[in-house]
Amino acid sequence: MAAMPALRKLLRSLLAILLVPLLLFEEWGWAPLAAQAAKLARLPLWARLEQRVRAMPPWAAVAIFLLPVVMLLPVKLLALLLFGHGHYASGLALLAGAKLVGTALVARLFQLVQPTLMHVPWFALWYPRWTAWKNHWLGLVRQSAAWRALRRLRSGTRRRWRLFQRGFWRVS
């Protein structure tokens, strides 16, 4: 019986290791991609579509999350076809683009329907738990030496890029 808790802990750790890269992508990409998708609301047709999404009943708000999955499935199948024919770079670029578009759509949809989703009992129960779990693992990642080194590298690169741009564009 003592092996079961140890096995459960091992499986949870393995799952977390597999999910952390996905969580990091979502963490880095979620807000910026949602902000870019929100800019589409400047278009009158898109703004009306967003109003309709906000007004959906809870069951429809849950179903709307299947839309990006369904829309991107043919794109992912095309990427597999490209891989199968040896076009690895094209397939990888297509998958990366699909991931960016899919994340932007899901992030924006979530912003629009989160208040409605909180009226769905199972969502209202599990969303705070998911958020706490995600924040726990992201906190551990952020405390790691590798994360801190990447942050320093990133801020140094940004600083050097800004200095380069100022020097490059300066007229003598």
pTM of the predicted protein model: 0.69
* Residue 130, CA distances (Å) to 122, 127, 138 in order: 12, 5, 12
11 found inside a domain: no
**What pLDDT does 169 receive?**
63
Band of residue 116 on the pLDDT scale cut at 50, 70, 90: very high
In sequence order, the 6+-apart residues with CB closer than 8 A to the CB of 92 are 79
Residue 2 above 70 pLDDT? Answer: no
63 found inside a domain: yes
**What pLDDT does 81 receive?**
94
Q: Which residue has the higher pLDDT, 14 or 108?
A: 108
> Could you report the per-residue pLDDT of 122-157, keeping only the tens digit for each?
999 999 998 898 888 888 878 878 778 888 888 888
104 found inside a domain: yes
161 found inside a domain: yes
4 found inside a domain: no
Q: How many domains does the chain have?
A: 2
8 found inside a domain: no
> Does residue 109 share a domain with residue 33?
yes
> Does residue 114 share a domain with residue 127?
no
* Residue 30, CA distances (Å) to 22, 34, 48, 107, 132 in order: 11, 6, 23, 6, 17
Residue 113 above 90 pLDDT? Answer: yes
> Does residue 126 share a domain with residue 101?
no
2 found inside a domain: no
> Could you report the per-residue pLDDT of 48-104, keeping only the tens digit for each?
999 999 999 999 988 887 888 888 889 989 999 999 999 999 999 999 999 888 888
> Does residue 158 share a domain with residue 142?
yes
Q: Which residue has the higher pLDDT, 108 or 25?
A: 108
**What pLDDT does 19 receive?**
73
- Cβ–Cβ < 8 Å for 99, 38: no
CA distance 111 to 37: 11
Helices of type H across 55-120: 58-64, 66-84, 88-117
135 found inside a domain: yes
> Does residue 68 share a domain with residue 98?
yes
> Does residue 112 share a domain with residue 135?
no
Q: Cα 57 vs. chain centroid, distance in angstroms?
A: 24
> Does residue 137 share a domain with residue 82?
no
> Does residue 101 share a domain with residue 125?
no
Summary mean pLDDT of the chain:
86
Q: Which domain holds residue 66?
A: 18-119
Q: H or E segment at 6?
A: helix 3-38
| In the block, residue with structure tokens 């809870």 | 58
Band of residue 161 on the pLDDT scale cut at 50, 70, 90: confident
In sequence order, the 6+-apart residues with CB closer than 8 A to the CB of 38 are 108, 111
> Does residue 32 share a domain with residue 81?
yes
Mean pLDDT of 35-53: 92
Collapsing DSSP to helix, strand or coil, 57 comes out as coil
> Does residue 146 share a domain with residue 111?
no
Mean pLDDT of 164-172: 69
